[in-house]
Amino acid sequence: MRPRETLTESQEERLLEVRLACPDIAHACDLARTFADLVRHQLGHPLLEWIRQAEQDAPKPMNGFAGFLRRDLDAVTAGLTFTWSSGVVEAHVSRIKTLKRAMYGRASFTLPSGPDPRPTMSFTELRSEP
């Protein structure tokens, strides 16, 4: 799925051989390359047309992939269109979780040797506590 200009001469020749041997592979390759360009260049608006084309005459696995994209069309289109990311938020959430684990003594966990000194209660006993 690399851009054609990055393929070596032998890779280009092998790709041509495979494409000539099977028209389904050639069509799937064209669709996959187009989809890779949509992702690489964050082009969400042509996605619906790509899905229609893949659903009409693509090999079965690619047809199924297009169907899954259609189910979440708004989310996939947004992901291919907008440049923002939730990475910063996720980093803050991970940091907060790490701090909480450290505060409550769960930053590192080791199994105690010997019997567990903590008292145990059954579910029924827990429910009857005030």
- Domain ranges in the chain are 4-81
Q: Which two tokens stand for residue 54?
A: 């893949």
CA 124 to CA 9: how far, in whole Å?
Answer: 72
CA 84 to CA 22: how far, in whole Å?
Answer: 40
The Cα angle at residue 99 between residues 95 and 103, in degrees rounded to 5? 170
CA 45 to CA 51: how far, in whole Å?
Answer: 11
CA 71 to CA 35: how far, in whole Å?
Answer: 17
| pLDDT given for residue 92 in this prediction | 72
Mean pLDDT of 3-14: 89
| pLDDT given for residue 112 in this prediction | 55
For residue range 54-107, list pLDDT tens digits in order. Answer: 999 888 888 899 999 999 898 888 888 887 666 566 677 777 888 777 777 655
pLDDT of 30 strictly over 60: yes
